[in-house]
Structure 1
Amino acid sequence: MTMPLMRPKRKNPILRTRQMNLPPGSRGRVALGMTAAAAEGRFELQTCKDCGTVQYPPREACHKCLSPRLHWREQTGEGELISTTTLHHSNDLFFRERLPWRLGLVHLDTGPTLMVHLHGEVGDAPARVRVGARLDRAGQAVLIGFPNEGSAHMADDKMLREMTSDPKYRKALVTDGKTPVGQALVRALVKAGADIVWVGHAEPWKKLGGMDDITALPQVTLVPLDLTNGRSVSELAGEIGGKVDIVINNAEVHRTFGIGARRGTDVAKAEMDINYFGLLRLAQEFGPALKGRSADGVTSATAWVNLLSIYALANFPPHGTFSASKAAAYSLAQCLRAEMRPAGIRVVNVFPGPIDDEWNQHMPPPKVTPGALANAIVKALREGLEDVYPGDVAQEWLERWRDNPKVLERELAAGG
């Protein structure tokens, strides 16, 4: 049974903050297929289209029939633990700092035998286990053996916490608390055990619905934050940047129409100023602070969440300029992910379908409720995901986009 994580003691400000050492991060192009699946929470292995063999490790051809016709297929992960070992020495700096480290051999029911990291609740061999894929601090897929039945505190396992960004006992910044999504995020983070939740408010003198409810929570502190104002972002970063463990950028401007339905560029500029340049300002000020604290104990800086839109993948003409601003933000978020990865900070991009708010009131259901979106974000943090697509519409669009982006473009231009 995993011992519940205890609230960590306050850090001694005199002690030097540790620097991050990442686990080995080199992977071949073929092996990155497993990483791509793990980034979305799936455990996939190569399966031969000709003979049906499931194989591991990934290869260019089937090891049984030599066919190059391989595709990635999701696995249940059910298997038998056949042996275990515990490392007490390692030349790798990442593992050396975290010894002892337990490993095991698992024979999957589908055929392959895998070397996996073992969750602390997995007993000695032989035993039935479930293998899952997670992203490590280097952003690469690793395999973990879980018990078939775990305790209520499984997420507090020391090894598993290295692979995730669980908000428990961490400090988070939500950049916009005036929206229903922002307020739902605050409540979800508090429920998940966040120690402090700073809530940004561009106009703190305004009394908006729901703000009194969230500010009444003892974990919540309202802070002035205007993403269109570089000085506002800089001042807040100077005040709390060295304390924030998770940044959730949910601030956005969303207006309908495309190019020809309105005159001028004022609305498009407003969308870009928040959706793209706001992210840029935030990343420039808070990014270095997060990177500097990525190895700061069990409650280290760990994640950056961007609320994007499924419209970032393919432009939806009725929301054309908003789609363009989110596409720009998506590209910037990919750059941010590349810059954060050497420090072990996970950048989580969230691509919801239409949210049930005032700017999507004419959209037919299904729509994503603010509460469901907030829960999906917290779940992504707990499971260490990189890309999340909440809602039925987002899942459908993603499938169509992966099948043929050009066909999806034509379908959206014709009305969906």
Structure 2
Amino acid sequence: MPDPLPPLPEPVRKDPQKKTRSALTPPLARSRLGMRLGAQAARGRFHLPHCDSCAVIVWPPREACPSCLSDLHWRVADPHGRLIAETALETSPELYFRERVPWRVGTVTLAGGVPVMAHLHAHCRVGDKVELRLFLDKADRAVFMAFADTDSPDLREDIQLRELTNDPRHRRVLITDARTPAGVALAAAMTGAGAKTVFAGVAESWKRDAAIERLEGMTGVSVLPLDLTDTRSVEELCGEIGGKVDILVHNAEHVRPGGVMAGRGIADARQLHDKLVFGFMRLAENFGPVMRSRGADGVNAATAWVNLLSVYAHANWPAFGQHSAAHAATLSLAQCLRGEMLGSGVRVVNAFAGPLEQDWHDSVLPPKVTPDRLARDIVAGLLAGQQDLYIGDVARDVAERFEDDAKLLEMELAGGGQ
């Protein structure tokens, strides 16, 4: 039984005269098939290419089975195997690893004797039965990591695992619309996950309500004025805390039913886009460059930008057509931001949800997502290092239908489906 890992050190106040570590990245080059493995990791899947004719996993990925030339199909694979060899890198020609040595890697054999190179959790020893998981590294490229015991209480203390995930512990989190039920639940979930400080952004903070009282009653939560529709408000808050934000959660919401003809007019659509879409842009213009510059800043480096989006950003739901369109625009901007953040160490995470358990969705049939479930799954996604989260049954169902046939999903939604 390996010795328990020592707790990760709490970050100390940084010396402003010391240089911030440069945001170096692991090797970026991948083939298109290698990128496909990254797409599986981004969604939290463990899918590998299989040959149905030979009934084996084909690794490394190829265009066709090397034995029978049959087409390969990516599907769920058994992640369990055995660690047969390990080594610790003491130096490396790659600058990213030179700053982080020693770094443990090893060879794991999967079912059928398929060998896989993997990063090793500190508890792994040669001969152990291990479980592999797929992660995205700092270059957003897929890597394997092996675990001897995924239920270990000190699992999160491993420094290599922290490099691959977006663990909120010891980090400072900004929630941009904390007055909402989801915002309050996110503040509680982040503090529960060990966040050092949660900055709760609230528009019109002079208006007292139950949400603000709950936020002020939480340990480690600081309520700050933030109006996403006001450029000056965003600029002032960034000037105050921009260099302290390690995880930003853009959870702004403005749910209203209606489409284009049966909507609530241009004025309401403008208000919706001003808060969601242009609010996102205001945040990106101000907080984005600062977070990008701090992507390698030690234990509490800037690590994630989280967007709470409707799953109908993928395909418009006419019952909430304007709302779907605003989220589709925000999704497109989030994809742009992901490209701009590439190589900085800051991961852009999109959390897609179906209808929420709230007043403006009271006419929608269940299942719906509660604020606590939403917050809990977002924290779990950060701990797993995922890029795309689908929260709730509706979101997962819509995502599967979209992946299967986007046009068919469009027709189903247009015909009154959900």
Q: TM-score, normalised by structure 1?
A: 0.98
Query: Structure 1's 175 and 110: CA in aligned 2 closer, same or farther, altered over 3 A?
Result: farther
Deviations 1:53-90 (A, max 9, x none): 201111111122122x1111122311111111111111
Aligned to 2:189: 188
Residues 355 and 402 of structure 1: is their aligned pair in 2 closer, same or farther, counting only changes over 3 Å? same
Residue 66 of structure 2 corresponds to which residue in structure 1?
63
Give the conservation status (yes or no) of the 8 Å contact 2:291–2:302: yes
- 1:51, distance to aligned residue in structure 2 (A): 2.1
Structure 2 letter corresponding to 1:147: A
1:92–1:393: structure 2 CA closer, same or farther, 3 Å change rule?
same
- The whole-number CA distance in structure 2 between the counterparts of 1:110 and 1:132 is 18
CA distance in 2, matches of 1:21, 1:199: 31
1:231 equivalent in alignment to 2:232: yes
Q: Please tell me the residue identity of whatever aligns with 2:107.
A: L
Deviation at 1:269, TM superposition (A): 0.8
Equivalent residues in 2 for 1:117-266, closer than 5 Å: 117-123=119-125, 125-148=126-149, 150-262=151-263, 264-266=265-267
2:387 alignment partner in structure 1: 386
Distance change (3 Å), C-alpha of 1:371 and 1:405: same
Secondary structure at 2:100's aligned position in 1? Answer: coil
Aligned residue runs from structure 1 range 314-329, under 5 A: 314-329=315-330
Q: Which of the numbers 22, 27, 34 marks the counterpart of 2:25?
A: 22
CA contact (8 A) 2:276 2:330 kept: yes
Q: Deviations 1:281-320 (Å, cap 9, x if unpaired)?
A: 1011000000111111011010000011101011000000
- Report the alpha carbon displacement of residue 266 of structure 1 after superposing the two structures with TM: 0.7
Structure 1: gaps (5+ residues): none
Give, in angstroms, the shift of residue 150 of structure 1: 4.7
RMSD, matched Cα: 1.1
The match for 1:44 among 17, 42, 47 is 47
Q: Deviations over 1:184-213 (max 9, x none)?
A: 000000000000100011110111223212
TM-score, normalised with respect to structure 2: 0.97
Which secondary structure state, in structure 1, belongs to the residue aligned with residue 25 of structure 2?
A: coil
What is the percentage of aligned positions where both structures have the same residue? 48
Query: Do residues 336 (structure 1) and 323 (structure 2) align?
Result: no
Q: Which residue of 2 aligns with 1:74?
A: 76
Residues 365 and 16 of structure 1: is their aligned pair in 2 closer, same or farther, counting only changes over 3 Å?
same
SS at match of 1:12: coil
Give, in whole Å, the separation in 1 of the partners of 2:157 and 2:13.
19
Report which stretch shifted further, 264-273 or 311-320: 264-273
The answer to whether the 8 A contact 2:215-2:223 is kept is no
Q: What secondary structure sits across from 1:27 in the alignment?
A: coil
2:17 equivalent to 1:6:
no
Does the 8 Å CA contact 1:2/1:151 hold for their aligned counterparts? no
CA distance in 2: counterparts of 1:121 and 1:198, whole angstroms: 35
Question: For the Cα contact (< 8 Å) 1:174–1:249, is it kept in 2?
Answer: yes
Q: CA deviation at 1:233?
A: 0.5
1:176 CA displacement = 0.8
Runs of 4+ in 1 over 3 A off after TM superposition: none
SS class of match (2:118): strand
What's the counterpart of residue 93 of structure 1?
A: 95
What are the residue-to-residue correspondences of 1:250-329 with 2, within 5 Å?
250-262=251-263, 264-329=265-330
Q: Partner amino acid for 2:32?
A: R
Asked if 1:355 corresponds to 2:338, the answer is no
The worse-fitting range, judged by mean Cα deviation, of 368-377 and 401-410 is: 401-410
